Amino acid sequence: MRTIHKFKLTLFLLGCLLYSTSCEVLDQSPQQDITPDIAFQSEKAARAALVGLYNGLQSGDYYGAYFPYTSDNYADVSIFLGFFTGFNEVDDKNIPSSNLNVELIWLQAFETINIANEIIDNVPAIEENGFDQAEKDEIIAAAKCIRALCYLDLLTHYGEHWDESSAFGLPLITKSTGGDFANVEFVPRNTVAETYDFILADLLDAEKSLPDSDDRTVASLGLAQALLARTYLHKGEYANAITKTTAVIDNSNYALLDNYADIFSSDLSGESIFELAYNSLDPSDLALYTIRRDEVRPDPALIASFEEGDARAELIAPVDGFVGDRFIKAEDFGNDENPAYIIRMAEMYLARAEAKFLSGDTDGALEDLNAVRTRAGLDAHTSSDDFVDKLLNEIRWEFFAEGQRFRALVRLGKAEEVLGLQTFQRIYPIPFRELNIEGNQMAQNPGY
């Protein structure tokens, strides 16, 4: 009997122990991750989110490889020699809506837009001594600038950007969800005109608050203006395009380098308006595809198209250990530290040339075109005959492996003629996954 009493006591103590422990078992918290409220509790946290925004652009699915290479493979700039069905379908100029590249680019661009939305919505509410309104405005302006970059990339590849009356723009997401599924609204596509308006509004806001800085790795006044120029050009507002390109060209932070190869032989050259920095701990996939996997190759037609003496052709050359030519717009492709060139001075000159030509100033257009052309060691064009073809050639030679040729061909109405595409193929299909989500109102692009 007495033993039993002792056990009663033991059991009682055991019970107390269980009782105190059990309360904690279900209360687990993540060790690596933070909750959305902590993500915006201070200035430091807000700046960390801005870092996350640039990190979004860096992804291999976006500027880290897929965005420029998919676009160039679709055009007559590069070819793909490898297994990936996603690239092969693009290369075959027959992109089904199930195409993986088109899906990954779409998702990554919106992932980046979402980070921007979180910043834009949450930063104003942060209350911290020393975190003043001007600092907040600058962070928000950077987020709007990057959001506009993403929307313009999407519009020029997934939306009918050549036709402002088209209903096939993009869904415009203006509110953050806090990462909560319950807050996701299933909205339809906005029109192309609405999409342009949204992009322009963001960029004009950004232009107001971004500093005129020569830090080319982040959003600056120059980037906002350069993107405004790019947007106006696509939209067909040539006077505005000329104003903005001129503003950038006249900005002493930027210059057209004398030597084309210098742009790529060191990071952060004066040519760059915005380039994404990578380092060995944060590598890009750019050289992975062109060199190590050895799959994204120069289109033989591109190599054949260069004029004699074009310095740009020298950046397509053999690499040790490989037979044949590779894209080598890189300082050192072994270390994956090469930047992604998003927008640089040559584009401003060619954009102004295009805007001038289309608004009737053929001499001015020729002058800007020749600035880029003679820099590469070629003789200046003297005639503005076939100007559009000349311009498109320069874009092809100047920006190979940078993903600029395709949307220029579409913008100038040459995609069908040059690439042999059917009219509906001037843009990518909306990824099949989007159409297959219960309740999603996304409409497929006509023809797909």
Partner 1 sequence: MKRPLRQFLVAMLCLMSFSAIGQRTLSGKVTASSTGETLIGVNILIKGSTTGTVTDFDGNYTLEIPSNDVILILSYTGFATKEVPVGTASELDVSLDEGSEVLDEVLVVGYGTQKRGDVTTAISSINGEDIGQLPVASVELAMQGRAAGVNISSSSGQPGAALKVQIRGATSITASSEPLYVVDGIPMTSDNNSSLFTGGYNFNSMADINPDDIESIDILKDASAAAIYGSRGANGVVLITTKRGKSGKGKIEFDTYFGTQAPAKVIEMMNSAEFINMMNEASANDGYIDNWFSDPNSFNFIGDPDDPELINTDWYDEILRDDAPISNYSLSASGGSDKFSYYVNGSYFDQDGFQKGTSFNRMSARTNLDAQVNDVLKIGTNVMISRSDSKSTVGDNSLYGVMINALAADPTMPVQQEDGTYSDPFSYFSWWAFENPRAATDIYQRNTFTNRFLGSVFAELSIAPGLKFRTSWSADYQNLEDQLFYPSTTLQAIRGGITGLGQYASAETITWLNENTLNYNFDFGTPHNLSILAGFTMQETDQDFVDITGENFANDNLGAIALAADITNGSTQGTSWGLISYLARANYNFDNKYYLTASIRTDGSSRFGDESRYGVFPSVSASWRVSSEPFLANSDWLYDLKLRASWGLTGNQDGINNFASRALWTSAVNYNGAAGTSPSRMGNADLGWESTSQYDIGFDLSLFDGRVNLTVDYFDKRTTDLLLNSNVPGFSGFTTVTRNIGEVKNVGWEFALNTVNFQTSGGFRWSTNFNISTIENEITRLEQDGELQGTTHILKQGYPLGTFNLIRWEGIDPETGNSIFTDTNGDGAINSGDATIVEENGKALTVWPDFFGGITNTFSYKGFDLSVFFQYSSGNYLWNHSRYAQEQVGWSFNFGGFFLPYGNNTKRVEEERWRQPGDVTDIPRAGLGYVFDDDGNVVGEYQNWQEDSDQWLEDASFIRLKTLEFGYNLPKNLMTKIGLSSSKVYFRGQNLWTSTKYLGVDPEVSSNGESVTRPGEDFGGLGQPRTLIFGIKIGI
Q: What residues from 170 to 229 belong to the interface with partner 1 (CB under 8 A)? A: 171, 173, 177-182, 184, 186-187, 217-218
Minimum gap (Å) between residue 191 Cβ and partner 1: 16
Nearer to partner 1, 58 or 231 (CB): 58
Strand 340-344 relative to strand 272-276: parallel, antiparallel, unpaired? antiparallel
Termini Cα distance of the chain? 85
Residue whose CB is less far from partner 1, 309 or 447: 447
Residue type, position 377, single letter: G
What would the two tokens of residue 44 be? 């430091």
User: Nearest Cα to 173, choosing from 121, 113, 108?
Assistant: 113
Q: Which of 133, 280, 382, 383 binds partner 1 (CB under 8 A)?
A: 280
Question: Cβ closer to partner 1: 81 or 261?
Answer: 81
Residues 131-160 that bind partner 1 (CB under 8 A): none
Q: How many residues does the chain have?
A: 448
Q: Provide the token pair at 175.
A: 């509110």
Please report whether residue 34 would count as binding partner 1 according to CB under 8 A.
Answer: yes
CB of 369 to partner 1, least distance (A): 34
360 near partner 1 (CB under 8 A): no
Q: Which of residues 320-359 bind partner 1 (CB under 8 A)?
A: 321, 323-324, 334-335
Strand partners, 249: none
Q: Which is nearer to partner 1, 199 or 369 (CB)?
A: 199
User: What part of residues 43-62 is at the interface with partner 1 (CB under 8 A)?
Assistant: 45, 47-56, 58
φ/ψ (deg, to 5) at 132: -90, 175
**b/e map 390-409, b = 16+ CB within 10 Å:** bbbbbbbbbbbbbbbbbbbb
Window contacting partner 1 (CB under 8 A); options: 31-39, 223-231, 256-264, 359-367: 31-39
* Rounded-to-integer distance, Cα 278 and Cα 284, Å: 6
For partner 1, the closer of residues 21 and 252 by Cβ is 21
Residues ≥6 apart with Cβ < 8 Å to 101: 66, 70, 86, 87, 90
Out of 246, 264, 412, 433, name the contact with partner 1 by CB under 8 A: 433
Please return the burial class of 244, using the count of CB atoms within 10 Å of its CB with bins 0-12, 13-18 and 19+.
buried
Question: Does residue 303 interact with partner 1 by CB under 8 A?
Answer: no
Residue entry with tokens 């074009």:
310
Q: Which of 42, 377, 442, 444 binds partner 1 (CB under 8 A)?
A: 442
Does 8 sit near partner 1 (CB under 8 A)? yes
Query: What span, in angstroms and rounded, lies between the C-alpha atoms of 35 and 128?
Result: 19
Q: Whole-angstrom Cα distance, residue 321 to residue 317?
A: 12
Considering only residues 43, 71, 73, 92, which one is a binding residue for partner 1 as defined by CB under 8 A? 92
Does 422 contact partner 1 by CB under 8 A?
no
Tokens of 253: 């932070």
| Contact call for residues 244 and 232 (beta carbons, < 8 A) | yes
In this structure, the strands spanning 272-276 and 78-80 are unpaired
Does the protein bind partner 1 through residue 125 (CB under 8 A)? no
Residue 94 contacts partner 1 per CB under 8 A: yes
Beta pairing partners, 275: 341
- Of 15 and 309, nearer to partner 1 (C-beta) is 15
Determine which residue in the list 13, 14, 204, 380 makes contact with partner 1, applying CB under 8 A.
14
| Phi–psi pair at 431, nearest 5 degrees | -55, 140
Binding partner 1 (rule: CB under 8 A), the pick from 13, 85, 386, 446 is: 85
Q: How far is the CB of 388 from partner 1 (least distance, A)?
A: 31
Distance CA 334, CA 57 (A): 22
Residue 94 vs 259, nearer CB to partner 1: 94
Binding mask 364-403 for partner 1 (x = CB under 8 A): ----------------------------------------
Instruction: Indicate whether 438 belongs to the interface with partner 1 (CB under 8 A).
Output: yes
- Grouping H, G, I as helix, E, B as strand and the rest as coil, residue 110 is helix
Q: How many CB atoms lie within 10 A of CB 300?
A: 11
- Under the binding rule (CB under 8 A), the answer on residue 446 touching partner 1 is no
Strands 296-298 and 78-80: antiparallel
Say whether residue 304 binds partner 1 (CB under 8 A).
no
Number of residues that bind partner 1 (CB under 8 A): 88
Residue 89 CA to residue 68 CA, distance in Å, equals 16
The site map against partner 1 for 105-124 (x = CB under 8 A) is -xx--xx-xxx-xx------
Q: State which of residues 201, 208, 262, 292 lies at the interface with partner 1 (CB under 8 A).
A: 292
Q: Which CB, 81 or 419, lies closer to partner 1?
A: 81
